[in-house]
Amino acid sequence: MKIAVDAMGGDYAPEEIVKGALRAAEANSELHLLLVGQKERIQPFLSGSCPDNLSLVEASEVVEMGEHPANAVRKKKDSSIVVATRLVKQGDADALISAGSTGAQMAASLLGLGRIKGIERPAIATVLPTAQGGKLVLDVGANLDASPEQLCQYGLMGSVYAEKILGIPKPRVALLNIGSEEGKGNDLTQKAYGLLKNAPLNFLGNIEGRDVPFGRADVVVCEGFVGNVLLKTAEGLAGALFEQIKEKITSTALRKLGALAVKPGLKEIAQMMDYAEYGGAPLLGVNGISIICHGSSKSKAIFNAVRVARECVQIQLLEQIKSNLPK
Amino acid sequence: MKIAVDAMGGDYAPEEIVKGALRAAEANSELHLLLVGQKERIQPFLSGSCPDNLSLVEASEVVEMGEHPANAVRKKKDSSIVVATRLVKQGDADALISAGSTGAQMAASLLGLGRIKGIERPAIATVLPTAQGGKLVLDVGANLDASPEQLCQYGLMGSVYAEKILGIPKPRVALLNIGSEEGKGNDLTQKAYGLLKNAPLNFLGNIEGRDVPFGRADVVVCEGFVGNVLLKTAEGLAGALFEQIKEKITSTALRKLGALAVKPGLKEIAQMMDYAEYGGAPLLGVNGISIICHGSSKSKAIFNAVRVARECVQIQLLEQIKSNLPK
């Protein structure tokens, strides 16, 4: 199995990307990793010791974060994200991962790989860590304004992903809404409710924002704008709270002593909340495996994203999604 | 000053509502509280000792949580929420507060009090507790699908409220969006950005969900559906995290000992995050002071909501909003 890694994308590229890919190559001898990017900028981080199952693929250009995604992808045909996508398209790689511009990766994936038949728009599916395990939220920003039909398609794709990749049998799918009763919400959610209810899903009904962090659904369906706000608010609130906790439990000598004792417990929570453990978010609905990593990904996140990509290929995610869509 | 309190609305009505009103009456001798509802159900909780500045106003009906808000308000003309609103309309009270059905309160306020000229739709403005103090988020659910113009009106009203009631000079107003740069977002936020930028506001630009809990804006503007998700997700995540913390810092004998020492620090945070401290959320844009309380409000929240109502009347919130709207 070959996995293409965009070495030039992300806040810590190429160093952390290369490190993560190296670790993944060493840990998975059956994989072959293709590091895509500017060789002279990648090589310094390989420090001579390039394992046999890792090779470089030259791509002379880089799509920068500030560029207009679709325009950049159309113009920069030799950029790392476009070349990595082309490898998948041509069958020279089974999946790609990138921590670069999400918009550029979406554009490259849509243009290069196309959509799965029956899916109108792809969705970014992110794992939200909870005490009940990772739960899937989609879409978190691929498609800002969705239609009821598209929300239903997210539910169908998300259910397959949660079952096959997160290992949740019969995933409970819920529609993010402002109230739990049927009939609540705006026009979009009212219509989507009926479609999801009649789809071949384990549909729970509506879920409110306050129930999501408790893991009360395995797959939370929403349009991209709302999912993006949910995800980032959760991330921000966890960060703000931990900052406060750190300050408040060390504000006196006695508390400092107590903090030493409880620190391992807090670390367990921080680890549970660590997005890097989940590696990356699949762009579901495109006709190829395309894993989106957080822009601030370090080597651990890249390592885990390679694992996610590998699993998606192994379980034949695309075929699974296709066979789960209504004929 | 007279404040009407819907004694029948809320999960803990009438007991906790009556208790909160009693406390408020005792603490504010210059106020006169009007407890609106079924006298025979209220009286047991007054235990004979009714202060001079608290009186009962009979309302024979109650709008239940499951009822269709607008229909219930139209039909039940002698319900506590309709009677409390009518007191304000007729000038027999200066403000009303309720912990009952939010939909019913909105319908009663809109039908009974009307809108401020220049405001198309009212917005529920909620205080989100942060380490940098309470920050205002609006709308959190009065108007699920807003127009760009309406978002701009929220900004103008929210700015006045943040300055006059939360005591923040020149409040920094931001538009909730999926990215921070101008031009990001869906059609709604792209258009609203231009309007907010040109309004007489201290407009910061876009804010992402992750920056909201850090208090990086004083007023966060969004449409009702999104604001509702943001608020409830924050509430849920804080709850889920504290549940985890409680479990993890007491899971061994040593940690339990440490937990004793750090507990006061964690309590300080829990208190900071306590919504009840902020009492209630004003329904901004209706032509009268109408304070919405959380359905699960206990006496402390009602006590604080009375304080909020009093302050809104004292600073002449309606006049302030009117004078801040573009002519």
Find chain B residues with C-beta within 8 A of A130's C-beta.
Answer: 240
Report yes or no: A114 at the B interface, CB cutoff 8 Å. no
Find chain A residues with C-beta within 8 A of B255's C-beta.
Answer: 261-262, 264-265
Of B131, B178, B258, the CB nearest to A258: B258
Q: Distance of alpha carbon B240 from its chain centroid, rounded?
A: 23
Please tell me the distance from the alpha carbon of residue A175 to that of residue B85, in angstroms, as a whole number: 35
Please tell me the distance from the alpha carbon of residue B30 to that of residue B186, in angstroms, as a whole number: 49
From A262's Cα to the closest Cα of chain B, the distance in A is 5
From A249's Cα to the closest Cα of chain B, the distance in A is 5
3-class DSSP state of B271 = helix
In chain B, the residue whose alpha carbon lies closest to the alpha carbon of A260 is B258
Find chain B residues with C-beta within 8 A of A259's C-beta.
Answer: 258, 261-262
All structural domains of chain A with their residue ranges: 2-119+285-316, 123-238
| Res A271: pLDDT | 87
| Res B52: pLDDT | 93
| Res A151: pLDDT | 98
| Res A25: pLDDT | 96
Are the Cβ atoms of B259 and A258 closer than 8 angstroms? yes
Quote the DSSP letter at residue B129.
P
- CATH number for the region A2-119+285-316 comes to 3.40.718.10
Q: Which CATH superfamily is domain A123-238 in?
A: Isopropylmalate Dehydrogenase (3.40.718.10)
Give the range with max mean pLDDT: A158-162, A276-280, B270-274. A158-162
Report yes or no: B265 at the A interface, CB cutoff 8 Å. yes
Low-confidence ranges of chain B (pLDDT < 70): 48
A60-81 pLDDT, tens digit per residue, is 999 998 899 999 999 999 999 9
Report yes or no: B212 at the A interface, CB cutoff 8 Å. yes
Of A178, A208, A233, the CB nearest to B209: A233
Find chain B residues with C-beta within 8 A of A131's C-beta.
Answer: 240, 243-244
Find chain A residues with C-beta within 8 A of B185's C-beta.
Answer: 144, 225
Whole-number average pLDDT of chain A: 94
Give me the residues of A, 28-87, that contact B with CB < 8 A: none
Please tell me if the domain spanning B2-119+285-316 has the same topology as the one spanning B123-238. Answer: yes
| Res B256: pLDDT | 94
Residue A274 has pLDDT above 90, yes or no: no
ipTM surpasses 0.90: yes
| Res A276: pLDDT | 75
| Res B65: pLDDT | 84
Are the Cβ atoms of B230 and A228 closer than 8 angstroms? no
Helix ranges (H only) for chain B are 15-27, 39-42, 69-75, 80-89, 102-113, 148-164, 187-197, 224-248, 253-272, 299-314, 317-324
% of chain A residues with pLDDT over 70: 100
CA B292, B295, B297, B302 dihedral sign is: positive
Report yes or no: B253 at the A interface, CB cutoff 8 Å. no
| CA separation, residue A95 to residues A283, A308, B49, B169 (Å) | 11, 10, 74, 52
Q: Which residue of A102, A106, A232 is the best one to mutate when testing the B interface, meaning the one whose CB has the most B CBs within 10 A?
A: A232
| Res A47: pLDDT | 75
Pairing type for strands B281-284 and B289-292 reads: antiparallel
Residue A276 or A98, more confident = A98
Are the Cβ atoms of B232 and A208 closer than 8 angstroms? yes
List the Cα angle B321/B162/A244 in 5-degree steps: 165
Find chain B residues with C-beta within 8 A of A224's C-beta.
Answer: 178
- How big is the A-B interface in CB pairs under 8 Å? 181
Tokens representing residue B320 in the block: 């302030």
Residue A167 has pLDDT above 90, yes or no: yes
Are the Cβ atoms of B235 and A210 closer than 8 angstroms? yes
Find chain A residues with C-beta within 8 A of B121's C-beta.
Answer: none
Residue A180 has pLDDT above 80, yes or no: yes
In chain B, the residue whose alpha carbon lies closest to the alpha carbon of A236 is B210
Residue B49 or A188, more confident = A188
| Res B281: pLDDT | 94
| Res A240: pLDDT | 94
Report yes or no: A295 at the B interface, CB cutoff 8 Å. no
Please tell me the distance from the alpha carbon of residue A226 to that of residue A221, in angstroms, as a whole number: 10
Rg (CA), chain A: 20
Residue A286 has pLDDT above 90, yes or no: yes
Find chain A residues with C-beta within 8 A of B214's C-beta.
Answer: 236, 239-240
Q: What is the mean pLDDT of residues A292-311?
A: 94
Are the Cβ atoms of B230 and A225 closer than 8 angstroms? no
Report yes or no: B270 at the A interface, CB cutoff 8 Å. no
Of B124, B67, B79, nearest in space to B292 by CA:
B124
